[in-house]
Structure 1
Amino acid sequence: MSSTPPGPVAARGREPVVVGVDSGGSGLRVAVARAGREVSAPLVSREPVRTGPGGISAPHLLEQLVPMVRSALADGERVVALAVGAAGMATLGDELRAGLPVALEREFGVARLALAADAVTAYAGALGQRPGAVVAAGTGMIALGTDLRTWRRADGWGHLLGDSGSGAWIGRAGLEAALRAHDGRGGGSAALLERAERLFGPAGGLPGQLYPRTDRAAVLASFAPEVAAAATGGDRVAREVLGRAAAHIAESARAVCPSGGEPEVSFTGGLFRMGEPLLAPLAEDLARLLPGVRRTPAEGDPLHGSVVIASALASESLRLPTDGRLLTVVGPGRL
């Protein structure tokens, strides 16, 4: 990186321009903000960034990111700060941390750069830079909390070892109940069996459909809405599955929520659009496990969070704690 930091951001180009990036399993999204205002229509690539022996591929990310950013910049504008949030950054981000700082300075003159796990950008999108806890849940599930000194993480261990309460977890539990009904064992649900066979075909073929797939978690999660529908229709087993999922989610929130003060907890991700069968028991469990906690609606999604972080870097007001895996900052930008 250049040893000469950029001057005040207001003097660079027509307006201060910051860039937020969200890289995940569904592709790459880029948002450009001027004077703190996010663009109304983020740029989107539907091609997920590849993962290779070195982790997340820096060349493949740059191959998509550079033309997307260039197309969004007006003449004379310069990127003063950029934040990349990526799924897998904590464990697979070594190549990005090694390659992106030099490449992005070369392409755009960026001297303020943040590389963050998607859980961190989900946190920043939901709560900004305030202390609290955020649970991000969709196919998977992870909880992240901070007192603005350190991060605390719970779960996010994937569908084989964890992600308890996630869409994949709910789908797997629902399919197990379907197979119990198919076998005539206790704990089964005829309603879930009917829904499983409508979606996947004869129950006996489920292992062959699931086990060879590399996208098993997504396939399992595709059955979670069926569990919610069965619960809404009054199926006891389906409601019990969602009740257990809610308990897992609340436990993870408690594990990361900072003590003292008036803690905030926010929930973000598609799982929480499942409705009353999940949200009602979740509210009860939160009241029991985190009495007095303030539940705060998420302000935005992980892409919004990456813009929040980039904007804080540009104004040298970043308060979120840096971490070798979860949040790496290059150049000035912290308080």
Structure 2
Amino acid sequence: MPSRLLVDVGQTGTRLRIESDAAETIDDDTVGVRPGSHPESYLAQVAHETLSRHQVRVDTVAAGLSGLQGAGGDAESVLDRLVGFGVTHVVLADDAVTGYLAALALAPGVVLSVGTGVVALATTGDQALARVNGWGHLLGDDGGGYWIGRAGLHAALCAFDGRGPRTLLLDAAAARIGPAQEIGVTLQLDPDRVRTIAAFAKDVLDLAAGGDRVATEIRAAAAAELARNADAAARRAGDAAGGQIPVSWSGSLLTAQPVLREALQLELARLDSRYLLTPPGGTQLDGARLLTDLPATHPLAALVRRASSDS
């Protein structure tokens, strides 16, 4: 098989895997891409560092990138920077595409990519495609990690002020970020504030699992937003079969948080009894591997960009 570097570039972290016949599989990870950065430049940098560190040459680089907002990405620029490592093919897509492939492979359905942000992708047997949300933390990504984390911190500060009900979120916010009266300034000065706020989503969902009323309300609101994203994508793509519609997910937030999955399942059933919440079949890196052999006739192919030094 060809040697490959598979990459999943997220906002909170980046995962890499080197696969080849010549050596055993090598897994690596590093920090994620910052909001506002150029994801292709970041990918080229981390790929260069990883291949140099492990002293490996590969034929193909396949990656899903956060920050492309549906675009396929500049595969040519990445190839130009990696030819010294033997790379002859680069395949890029938004990480929502690799998330879809990880969850449902080539099958029709809906996939929610839920991390710091949120994207819903839907495909049908009639080759239709719809993409919903992914507008970033300022204008969208409703129900994602940043959205949940911000809601939790807002509730914590409301409790501190006496503007809202008491909640254990206040103690959790102080433990993670610092004294309540300093949280606002601390976050304003934090260059990684988006990640810091998104990380608080775990505290919110843990407290929801423990019965904190305010955290439970945030969880329910997040699940409703996620369900609306999935429903909008499914309706825009259309339903050729007319039967059950698989809804799966990618990202650690839903994988690691049963309380959010359970709430999502209830919200999906409320919207349409045909929705069937389906566990993902693989990881984002599995999705990147499938990206290399994605048929040109598949609807997701329109969101993929390729570059080759052989052409």
Query: Is contact 2:71-2:93 (8 Å) kept?
Result: no
Deviation at 1:70, TM superposition (A): 5.9
Residue equivalent to 2:291 = 309
Match of 1:193 among 170, 179, 187: 170
Give, as a single letter, the amino acid of the residue that structure 1 aligns with 2:211. G
Match of 1:89 among 53, 59, 68: 68
Unaligned ranges ≥5, structure 2: none
Deviation at 1:260, TM superposition (A): 2.8
Query: Is contact 1:119-1:142 (8 Å) kept?
Result: yes
1:59-108 CA deviation, whole Å, 9 max, x = no partner? 525523554786276xxxxx3x54222222347875x3332345666753
1:43 aligned onto 2:27: yes
Counterpart CA distance in 1 for 2:245 and 2:118 is 20
Query: Is contact 1:132-1:265 (8 Å) kept?
Result: yes
Query: Is contact 1:179-1:188 (8 Å) kept?
Result: no
Q: Scaled by the length of structure 1, what TM-score is found?
A: 0.76
Give, as a single letter, the amino acid of the residue that structure 1 aligns with 2:156. A
| SS of the residue 2:281 aligns to | coil
Deviation at 1:317, TM superposition (A): 7.0
Deviation at 1:109, TM superposition (A): 6.2
Counterpart CA distance in 2 for 1:31 and 1:53 is 25
Counterpart CA distance in 2 for 1:327 and 1:83 is 10
1:203-253 CA deviation, whole Å, 9 max, x = no partner? 111111112222122111222222223223322211111000000011111
Residue equivalent to 1:4 = none
1:159 aligned onto 2:146: no
Give, as a single letter, the amino acid of the residue that structure 2 aligns with 1:260. A
Query: 1:250 and 1:199, CA in 2 relative to 1: closer, same or farther beyond 3 A?
Result: same
Counterpart CA distance in 2 for 1:222 and 1:151 is 31
Residue equivalent to 2:270 = 288
Counterpart CA distance in 2 for 1:89 and 1:202 is 36
Query: 1:128 and 1:70, CA in 2 relative to 1: closer, same or farther beyond 3 A?
Result: farther
Could you tell which deviates more after superposition, 120-129 or 43-52?
43-52
Give, as a single letter, the amino acid of the residue that structure 1 aligns with 2:63. V
1:22 aligned onto 2:8: yes
**Identity score, percent:** 34
Query: 1:61 and 1:233, CA in 2 relative to 1: closer, same or farther beyond 3 A?
Result: closer
Query: 1:151 and 1:101, CA in 2 relative to 1: closer, same or farther beyond 3 A?
Result: farther
Residue equivalent to 1:234 = 211
Counterpart CA distance in 1 for 2:246 and 2:149 is 29
The CA RMSD measured in Å over matched residues stands at 3.2
Query: 1:49 and 1:174, CA in 2 relative to 1: closer, same or farther beyond 3 A?
Result: closer
Counterpart CA distance in 1 for 2:259 and 2:32 is 32
Match of 2:158 among 173, 180, 183: 180
1:135 aligned onto 2:112: yes
Counterpart CA distance in 2 for 1:54 and 1:246 is 30
Unaligned ranges ≥5, structure 1: 1-14, 74-78
| SS of the residue 2:56 aligns to | helix
Give, as a single letter, the amino acid of the residue that structure 1 aligns with 2:147. W
Residue equivalent to 1:321 = 300
Deviation at 1:127, TM superposition (A): 0.9
Query: Is contact 1:124-1:309 (8 Å) kept?
Result: yes
Counterpart CA distance in 2 for 1:234 and 1:317 is 48
| SS of the residue 2:121 aligns to | strand
Query: 1:126 and 1:70, CA in 2 relative to 1: closer, same or farther beyond 3 A?
Result: farther
Give, as a single letter, the amino acid of the residue that structure 2 aligns with 1:108. G
